[in-house]
Structure 1
Amino acid sequence: MKSLQGKTIILGITGGIAAYKGAALTSKLTQKGATVHVIMTASAKQFITELTLQSLSKQRVYSDTFQERDPSSISHIDLADSADLVLVAPATANIIAKMAHGLADDMLSTTLLAATAPVMVAPAMNVHMYQHPAVMDNINTLYKRGVKFIEPGEGQLACGYVGKGRLEEPEEIVKVVEQFFALQDSAAKGPLAGKKVVITAGGTIERIDPVRYITNDSSGKMGFALSRTARAMGAEVTLIAARTDEAPPQDPEIRVVRVESAADMYEAVLSAWKDCDILIKAAAVSDYRPRQSAESKIKKSGDTLSLELVKTTDILENLGKHKDKQFLIGFAAETGDAELYAKDKLVRKNLDLIVANDVTMEGAGFGTDTNIVSVYDAEGLVLDLPQTSKDEVARQLLQLAATRISGAQL
């Protein structure tokens, strides 16, 4: 089955012993129907030849920025414009650093800067190199920009070490590429196609004075995972984000609204509420705020400082009272008796679903990439997820919501 028929993939091969796997990867992508344009770095040519990759791809192989064979076009711009995906495999620490810092001193790095297509990177290097803080920082920088990573495997490395750093096998990389395009192609006809989804994320802050505020530990990770997944399922997504630990998803199809306080979030939510189909309140909104916020920094005076706090507007409760066609989902982050409090919140606030988690459990709650949740409706437990990634939690929750709003009950 030619699952990649009609797709144009730029395959960047960089200099490491794993470059030899580029031949199998080129062959398998081509067999799946993709048009594969290989760009090699000078170091990669020390391990594998252009002729090999040209024979397997049935396409010209590029390695020199200045080797222009067609006067009517500029190769790296032409390639970048034609790509549906740029895949760098293997990716050395060097090319990852170039990408992170915007360097362009060869054909591959220049093309990467010009590309507007999604970028996928499969690192391969010595285990100590992979774990070096500089490499980790560069990977995190690229991740926040939306670059997708295919994690290296663990095992015997060419240098003799055993550990993480081995290039993922070509068969597995092809599967990831296939899944990526399948998800991308299904967005237009996905389970949430045509639906407007509003998601809140992060922790609101309530100002005490210009330099101090009250907030909470919410990182925004769960809301961001929901936003990415809803978009991949075809929804029109509005993300309303307060203070977060990292930047929101770098997807131009996700509308991001930045807010600060609970009042700001309430206003933003209300502006999107009337026309939305699903609203998921994953943000941790402050329950109280200072009655007054000082206009200038409060100076230290005496051994104590008293603050009078007043309740903020309960956004979820107000939405529940005025719910019409909207499907409303809340979160209940608890430190004990999560089921009891979640069920009470579900009824009081007239929710369709509530996601409960005990933030004291290891691998759950704020700041982690994983979560442990139970989802309830008016009849009781409908979904119980052991520790799993927040992306997987988002996928299952949104799949459940999509099923419910279509009229079917799980």
Structure 2
Amino acid sequence: MKILITSGGTTEKIDAVRGITNHSTGTLGKYIAELFLNNGHEVSLVTTKSAVKPAENPNLKVYIVDNVATLMDTLKPLVKTHQVLIHSMAVSDYTPVYMTDLCEVEKSDNIAQLLTKKNTENKISSKSDYQVLFLKKTPKLISLVKDWNPLIQLIGFKLLVGVTKEELLNVARESLQKNKASYILANDLTEITPNQHHAFLLSEQSVEEVWTKEAIAKLLYKKVITDD
């Protein structure tokens, strides 16, 4: 079986030395990839330079991306040629448009005009005490997967922070339906530690609870193989 996995977290550049990123290490994606590789499946891993990765394997192809734009360019053709996508990557929700000092914003008669400007410096000056960073929303790539390949089995991930179980499951169900996914892995950042990864795997019919990254990988493997 041809398995496509995303892992790690994207980074959106502000300038040549700064960026907006997240803390995803890619560890869970690595566990998942290793389990499929150990059982003889072909794995394409789309990840970032800094994320942890499985050891070299003849059945493993690694694709390195950095931001949402390169992720989309890489993911779209791969989705069309794989049977399963396990989309565990933490994808940036916003990307920088323009960064400027507070004085320029206060002097502007039309703040919307600032959204048409772009920084040209390789490194934006740090002289000002306050800077304003304008962001724009990035495309929700998970919502495009079924357009690219209606037959692919899609497993998405939903991470929230400090919410009730009810809210976490409700948001995951919305994602399940909206993105036409087979499963959504719902987790809360406050329930993730070096020795624990508490999560719920949702489908239209069931909710299953797991407590470690290894257990998540095994459950996902079981579901993919059973549903094939």
The equivalent position to 2:73 in structure 1, one of 267, 271, 282, is: 267
Aligned length: 203
**Structure 1 residues 118-129: aligned runs within 5 Å:** none
Q: Distance in 2 between matches of 1:229 and 1:344?
A: 29
Classify 1:308/1:226 alpha carbon distance in 2 versus 1 (closer, same or farther; 3 Å): same
Q: Tell me how far apart the structure 1 counterparts of residues 120 and 205 of structure 2 sit (CA, whole Å).
A: 47
The structure 2 residue matched to 1:258, chosen from 48, 51, 64, is: 64
1:294–1:250: structure 2 CA closer, same or farther, 3 Å change rule? farther
Q: Is the 8 A contact 2:47 2:63 kept in 1?
A: yes
* 1:317-362 deviations in Å (ceiling 9; x for gaps): 0113343221000011111121111111111111111001111125
* 1:343 maps to 2:173: yes
Alpha-carbon offset, residue 232 of structure 1 = 1.4
Q: Which has the higher contact order (CA 8 A, sep 6+)?
A: 2
Separation of aligned partners in 1, 2:28 and 2:50: 11
- Equivalent residue letter for 1:357: N
Aligned to 1:230: 36
Q: Which of 240, 246, 259 is residue 46 of structure 2 equivalent to?
A: 240
Structure 1 residue 400 corresponds to structure 2 residue 223? yes
Deviations 1:199-248 (A, max 9, x none): 000010000000000001111001111111111122100000025453x1
Whole-Å Cα distance in 2 between the matches of residues 293 and 221 of structure 1?
34
Aligned partner of residue 54 in structure 2, secondary structure: coil
Q: What code does the residue aligned with 2:168 have? A: A
**Which of the numbers 278, 288, 303 marks the counterpart of 2:84?**
278
- Establish whether residue 352 from structure 1 lines up as the match of residue 182 from structure 2: yes
Distance across 2 between alignment mates of 1:274 and 1:362: 33
Gaps (5+ residues) in structure 1? 1-194, 406-410
The 3 A distance-change label for structure 1 pair 297 and 207 is same
Give the SS at the match of 2:131: coil
In structure 1, what is the Cα distance between the partners aligned to 2:3 and 2:18?
Answer: 33
| Runs of 4+ residues over 6 Å off in structure 1 | none
**Partner secondary structure for residue 190 of structure 2:** coil
Supply the RMSD in Å over aligned alpha carbons. Answer: 1.6
CA drift of 1:295 comes to 4.5
Structure 2: distance between partners of 1:271 and 1:369: 36
Q: Give how far 1:369 is off.
A: 5.4
Report % sequence identity.
Answer: 29
- The answer to whether the aligner puts 1:217 opposite 2:23 as a matched pair is yes
1:8-407 matches, cutoff 5 A: 195-246=1-52, 248-253=53-58, 254-291=60-97, 292=118, 294-335=120-161, 336=163, 337-363=167-193, 368=194, 370-381=196-207, 383-385=208-210, 387-388=211-212, 390-405=213-228
For 1:352 and 1:294, the matched residues in 2 are separated by 44
Residues 289 and 309, structure 1, Cα contact 8 Å, conserved in 2: yes
Other structure's SS at 2:35 match: helix
Letter in 2 for 1:361: E
Cα distance in structure 2, aligned partners of 1:380 and 1:369: 26
Higher strand share: 2
State the partner residue of 1:186.
Answer: none
Q: Highest Rg: 1 or 2?
A: 1
Give the counterpart letter for 2:54 in structure 1: P
1:37 aligned partner? none
TM-score, length basis structure 1: 0.47
Q: Confirm or deny: 8 A CA contact 2:7 2:51 kept in the other structure.
A: no
